[in-house]
Amino acid sequence: MKLTDLKPFTNEPFKDFTDPATTQSMLQALAEVRSQLGRTYNVYEGQNTFLSTNPANPSEVIGIHGASTEADAQTAVSTAQTASLTWSKTPVANRVQLLLRTAQLIRDRHFYFCAWLTLEVGKNYAEADADVGECIDFLEFYARQALHLDAATTPIQFPGERNLLRYVPLGPGAVIPPWNFPFAIMAGMTTAAIVTGNTVVLKPSPDAPTIAAKFVELLTEAGLPPGVVNLVQGGPEVGRAIVEHPQIRFIAFTGSKKVGLEIHERAAKVQPGQRFIKRTILELGGKDGIIVAADADIDSAVEGVAASAFGFNGQKCSACSRVIVEEPIYEAFLTKLTARVAAIQSGPPADNFYAGPVINPAAHKRVLDYIALGQTEGRLLTGGKAIDTKEHGYYIAPTVIADVAPTARLAQEEVFGPLLAVIRAKDFDDALTIANDTEYGLTGAIYSNSRTQLDRARNEFHVGNLYLNRKCTGAMVGAHPFGGFNLSGTDSKAGGPDYLTLFTQAKSVAEKISVASPQAEEQEQGLGL
Ligand code: NAD
């Protein structure tokens, strides 16, 4: 494709699973992926391995992966360092073409990647589709943004000089994604880094290693040169070894507050031989609240809260885990919300149940522990228990606990599961105070029919992604650049116009033009990133 023919960015359309033909395509993809389960990925002789399993059926092995050691991490960083010498000089057009080819390959195999997500992390069809669609969006969006950044320069020319501002790569960096958007976030951070000329050591979550291995295979098929993306697999130990490596120049991390802050601290310590202040791009957890004002449309608020709290079992950083309801409508809202949540069906994501399992035994225990705590901090309205199935998936009934105090642990700590706390607010001022009173600041929403209240929320509700009269999940690349305030991260705004600059350093060049040919100005076009 000629880059001059590139059309403006548009979001990938969602698939319509009410169409039987679409569902049939998904079922065929699931059958195809099932025939490929249990394969071994990137294991060298003598290497220890670990298994990725289906959270809905833990005896089903999705993939077998080599467990990278600290020595493997060192090798990966050295390879990335060597490759960065040539990749950083590769014309931006070539790097952009790589992203566009990869996006097209994903589009061609859309349901195939959805099926891997359904089986590896338990996404129902719509959630898997959203993850794959967002992945395509990131590639398409960053491809265009890279061209934009390449054409950027300083707006001011000093008399007698030719002034340039170029955005150049940082060098080799680490990409450490979470398990919950294992395709979109993993691929988004990786491709943002490489399209700007950096090389990467990619360490996916051990709960979602297969989908990452598939993505790296795809990049290679699309023409990725060796050494530009170096996959290592494993958990915290190998992650730490990458973060601490003196040649790593940036760490793009999405995950929990605890791990993100640890990475930030480790990255701050200058290691022997290090010649760069490591940059951290951190997108962390949330305790996202929705305010339901006294004059809100209750039905619409109930729907938005239920979708935000229980879509993908609340396992989204943007998930609503606190709903703050004004006193006059508190009981009426609870009655409708309880009925709505109690009707949610749990079962295997491969059969397209709305609520699947949580990701692993540790998450299962954590959420059940919070439910037990919640029953001491509030009143259980629905759910409150594990659900066993014949495959022993990690299911938990969607749970709502009311009358939670704003300072209770359930109102302050990220649970990351199907558990919603309801908090009573005296009035709108009280609701805003409660909404802002956590250490997080990722997403938030308000349901209100008052223009004054909506305007006040726009100015005073302190979150990175605020939604008025709609749910607080489902950010779209381009329209809703994503990232949080406070301890929810460095507000990097993935999928936004400023994101790629985080992966570059700006170099200012001033040339005196009195002796050089003035035509030099016109000759210098398309300076690479
Ligand atoms: P996590 O923090 O446990 O793990 C994230 C990644 O860090 C994984 O790859 C993990 O193996 C790695 N890791 C763990 N310990 C490490 C260490 N000490 N050093 C280096 N790497 C280490 O998070 P998770 O359970 O995978 O994901 C859920 C969390 O991610 C939630 O808190 C959620 O809110 C957050 N999240 C945030 C966003 C966002 O955009 N803000 C998006 C998705 C998820």
Neighbours of 518 (CB within 10 A): 9
Of 164, 222, 194, nearest in space to 90 by CA: 194
Measured between alpha carbons, how far is 92 from 196 in angstroms, rounded to an integer? Answer: 7
- Residue 511: pLDDT band (50, 70, 90) is very high
**Which ligand 1 atom minimizes the distance to the CA of 286?**
34
Beta bridge pairs of residue 291: 324, 446
**Is the pLDDT score of 299 beyond 50?**
yes
Q: Are 314 and 389 in the same domain?
A: yes
* 258 alpha carbon – ligand 1 mean position (Å): 8
Q: Do 300 and 254 reside in the same domain of the chain?
A: no
In this structure, are 261 and 390 located in the same domain?
Answer: no
The answer, yes or no, to whether any atom of ligand 1 lies below 6 A from the CB of 414, is yes
pLDDT tops 50 at residue 387: yes
Q: What is the CATH number of the domain that holds 458?
A: 3.40.309.10
Quick check: helix, strand or coil at residue 200? strand
Q: What is the pLDDT of residues 75-94, one digit of tens each?
A: 999 999 999 999 999 999 99
Predicted local distance difference test score (pLDDT) of residue 526: 45
Residues 255 and 392 in one domain: no
- The Cα 233–Cα 72 span in angstroms is 9
Q: Are 335 and 301 in contact (CB under 8 A)?
A: no
317 within ligand 1 shell (Cβ under 6 A): yes
Rounded to an integer, the average pLDDT of 301-322 is 98
DSSP state of 494: B
Distance 397 CA to ligand 1 centre (A): 24
Q: Which residues are annotated as catalytic?
A: 283, 317
Q: Are 360 and 417 in contact (CB under 8 A)?
A: no
- Domain span including residue 147: 69-284+489-507
**Any idea what DSSP says for residue 486?**
G
Residue 478 forms part of a structural domain: no
Percent of the chain with pLDDT over 70: 97
Dump the DSSP string for 330-345: HHHHHHHHHHHHHTPP
Percent of the chain with pLDDT over 90: 96
Q: Are residues 265 and 345 in the same domain?
A: no
Q: How many domains does the chain have?
A: 2
Query: pLDDT tens across 442-500, in order?
Result: 999 999 999 999 999 999 999 999 999 999 999 999 999 999 999 999 999 999 999 99
The CA 246 to ligand 1 mean position distance, Å, reads 22
Task: Let me know if residue 17 belongs to a domain.
Answer: no
Distance 294 CA to ligand 1 centre (A): 37
Q: 152 pLDDT exceeds 60?
A: yes
Residue 173 lies inside a defined structural domain of this protein: yes
User: Which strands sit side by side in the sheet containing 399-402, from one edge to the other?
Assistant: 379-382, 399-402, 419-425, 320-326, 288-292, 443-447, 465-468
The predicted pLDDT at position 517 comes to 54
> Ligand 1 pocket, 134 CB below 6 A?
no
- Tell me the mean pLDDT in the region 422-437: 98
- Beta partners for residue 509, in sequence order: 164
Ligand 1 pocket member 413 (CB < 6 A): no
Cα–Cα distance, 459 to 293 (Å, whole number): 16
Residue 297 exposed, middle or buried by CB count within 10 Å (0-12, 13-18, 19+): middle
Query: Would you state the pLDDT for residue 40?
Result: 98
Gap from CA of 253 to ligand 1 centroid (Å)? 7
Ligand 1 pocket member 366 (CB < 6 A): no
| Nearest-angstrom CA–CA distance, 312 and 357 | 9
CATH number for position 495:
3.40.605.10
Give the containing element (helix H, strand E) for 468: strand 465-468
User: Which residue's CA is the nearest one to ligand 1's atom 14?
Assistant: 236
- Residue nearest ligand 1's atom 24 by CA: 178
Tens digit of pLDDT for each residue in 200-256? 999 999 999 999 999 999 999 999 999 999 999 999 999 999 999 999 999 999 999
Query: What does the pLDDT read at residue 514?
Result: 72
To test ligand 1's pocket by mutation, which of 180, 259, 440 has the most ligand atoms within 8 angstroms of CB? Answer: 259
For ligand 1, say whether the CB of 178 is within 6 Å of any of its atoms: yes
Closest CA to 237 of 46, 50, 40: 50
256 lines ligand 1 (CB under 6 A): yes
pLDDT tens per residue, range 29-75: 999 999 999 999 999 999 999 999 999 999 999 999 999 999 999 99
Say if residue 260's pLDDT is above 80: yes
- How many DSSP H helices and E strands does the chain contain? 16, 19
Same-domain pairing of 304 and 268: no
Residue 113 has pLDDT above 50, yes or no: yes
- Judge if 212 and 315 occupy the same domain: no
CB atoms within 10 A of CB 275: 9
Looking at residues 275-292, what average pLDDT do you find?
98
3-state secondary structure of 510: strand
